[in-house]
Amino acid sequence: MRTSSLFEQAQEFLQLYYSESNLDGFGKRLDQVQVEILQTGTYRLTEKELSYGAKLAWRNSNRCMGRLFWKTLKVRDRRTLSTVEEVFADAMAHLKSATQGGKIRSTLSVYASADEADAGFRILNKQLIRFAGYMLPNGEILGDPDAVAFTSYCRSLGWEGKQTAFDVLPLVIQREGELARWFAVPEDQVLRVNLVHPDYSWFQELKLQWYAVPVISDMRLEIGGISFPCAPFNGWYMLTEIAARNLGDEQRYNMLPVIAKKMNLDQRQVKTLWKDKAMLVLQEAVLYSFQAQGVTLVDHHTASEQFLEFCKQEEAKGRSVQADWAWIVPPAAGSTLGVFHQEWENQILSPNFHYQPASWKQDKASKAPNFAAGKCPFSNN
């Protein structure tokens, strides 16, 4: 049953790859894959197939607004790496290559597939760079509240941070069948942006900052029926991801009340629109600071225009764009954005990226998780 299904998935992907790339030899390649699956139960993608499949996964990502640039994705084939030390060193190389001093380049690194015996890896962090969160004795949280549980897990492994609001978590890597291990991320690998405001000198007193490159590291990449549980990838930040969500959300850094107080806004009633005013100032600070430091960042208005251009290009190719409206429309500016007034089907296509169970939440005494398992990030389940 598995072999038949895998061959069908391989056939579907290879047919798409050969067709879109205007290549000859599809029949011969399909025969090779069929023989390989019959003999081994799986097959190995060529480097070019892997590269194109990864780009298609980005093109098919229903929740991503930045898909206009899917063809420019840099794909690093690292399937031959066999130790957690090698994976960590290579993840740092990915980070350096993607950062480029602030000129962020969309990059994806692929490590061993889930079907390769004793070779599967997982990076347990949500992102290669993420700030820690500490629960203080008085019940308050220092740092990122979203990271409190994972920070506690890292400390259980032996890591200790500096107890600041912006401590970079260690990278936790697990090889199939082995215990997870943590590695400290060198500070010189992390490009930080200190946030200031062009008009309010008091803003720098808040000592806010954010990291430049968002490298998603805990999702599973699927291409032609082959799962890659360790395939970190990045684009660049959209303004609202940092200002409206990471720093603005009540369940994250919750900076809006702090900024509103600095602005002497009336917070006694929401109808004074103090949140809106504070949010605008926070967005101005993030946008200004990234631009001043020469770090790639896209505002939500430009991102909306880019996504609509992506839709236009896809339609010209005869392809229907699949998108999750609730994720495509940014959490600020609403109806002023072109994407707000559009509708899309939300079918999940292959290749694609999928969520995986957070294995670090499982009983530490249990066996290593099934790395191939996962659920689609674009479903409602």
Active site residues: 64, 67, 236, 241
Residue 93 token pair: 């190389």
How far apart (Å, rounded) are the C-alpha atoms in residues 369 and 79?
A: 20
Residue with tokens 């809106």: 276
For the chain, first and last CA: distance in Å? Answer: 25
Provide the 3-class DSSP secondary structure of residue 375. Answer: strand
Both tokens of residue 244? 């409206």
Let me know: does 222 contact 214? Beta carbons within 8 Å: no
If one counts every other C-beta atom within 10 angstroms of the C-beta of residue 9, the result is 17
8-state DSSP, 170: P
Q: 């296509």: which residue's tokens?
A: 349
Q: Is 4 exposed, middle or buried (0-12, 13-18, 19+ CB in 10 A)?
A: exposed
Task: Output helix, strand, coil percentages for the chain, rounded to the nearest 5.
Answer: 40, 15, 45
